[in-house]
Amino acid sequence: MLLKEKTVIVTGGNSGIGEAIVIAAAAAGANVVIDYVAHPEETSSLIARIEAAGGKAVGLDADISTVAGLQALVQTAVETFGGLDVFINNAGIETRTSVLETSEEQYQKVLDINLKSAFFGTQLAAKQFIAQGTAGVILNISSVHEDWPMPGNTAYCVAKGGMRMLTRTAGVELGEHGIRVLNLCPGAVETPINASTMADPGKLKSLDAAIPLGRMAKPEEIARMAVMLASDTAAYLTSTSVFIDGGLMQGSVGL
């Protein structure tokens, strides 16, 4: 029970990596606040599944690209479970467009959902931890692409690059309060964000071939690591990024 009685917020918590984190955190003993913007029925069935297993969870339809939406999440955690221990900035989107193709609207949306939300999520979570007088954890679900170009997905890479420095800088600033700030950086994971790759056998084959472990990750594999980083097992880890990519970033054709 790595997160016994801890209260955890997960943004984008009803699908993909977020959903897997919600399930893993609840199984690790946490009370979970599930943020979502679409598919309320999936959130309800996720909550029912958690409750059937003896866990506690609540859902909130909140737009995390606004400070008001993020504030509502923190308030829900405090009102429902009496406080906050872990804030997981997981929500993310990508446009798969290059620098030449990306519109102003696409750029803004990607930056707001991936980076602005993590910046103000970090700020609000930290303020709550300081007000409570407790050490908390902020975990940002970043990507290998915080440090590794993905041509044809430029705005996403820009946002994840920003997340890299958010974690490094905020981690330094918040260390004196005992607050840890970390990035978890997955490679290719079997989630809706990769649906177009998974639906194209040619693309999937070349992606698998580029990964030293030879396959994409299961969301649960990412979620297990997220729970560990949020727990005291990782008590001395802050201001840094943990890569979980099956070796993807170090892959080499050996020429």
Residues that bind ligand BGC (CB under 6 A): 94, 143-145, 150, 187-188, 193-194, 197
CB closest to ligand BGC, residue no: 143
Which CB atom, from 178 or from 251, has the smaller least distance to ligand BGC? 251
Q: Is 156 a catalytic residue?
A: yes
Which CB atom, from 14 or from 143, has the smaller least distance to ligand BGC? 143
Backbone angles phi, psi at 167, to 5 degrees: -65, -45
Question: Is the Cα dihedral 35, 233, 159, 215 positive or negative?
Answer: negative
Look up residue 188 and give its two tokens.
């290719």
Nearest approach, Cβ of 143 to ligand BGC (angstroms)? 3
Report the b/e string of 39-56 with b at 16+ CB within 10 A.
eeeebeebbeebeeeebb
Nearest approach, Cβ of 90 to ligand BGC (angstroms)? 12
Nearest approach, Cβ of 194 to ligand BGC (angstroms)? 5
Which CB atom, from 61 or from 147, has the smaller least distance to ligand BGC? 147
How far is it, in rounded angstroms, from Cα 183 to Cα 242? 6
The arrangement of strands across the sheet holding 56-61 comes to 56-61, 31-36, 7-10, 86-89, 137-141, 180-186, 240-244
Nearest approach, Cβ of 82 to ligand BGC (angstroms)? 35
Specify whether the CB–CB gap between 138 and 180 falls below 8 A: yes
Which CB atom, from 150 or from 242, has the smaller least distance to ligand BGC? 150
- For β-strands 180-186 and 56-61, DSSP reports them as unpaired
Nearest approach, Cβ of 146 to ligand BGC (angstroms)? 9
- Write down the catalytic residue from 36, 107, 156, 236: 156
- For β-strands 86-89 and 31-36, DSSP reports them as unpaired
Tell me the one-letter amino acid at 30.
A
Which CB atom, from 55 or from 186, has the smaller least distance to ligand BGC? 186
3-state secondary structure of 139: strand
Residues recognised as catalytic: 156
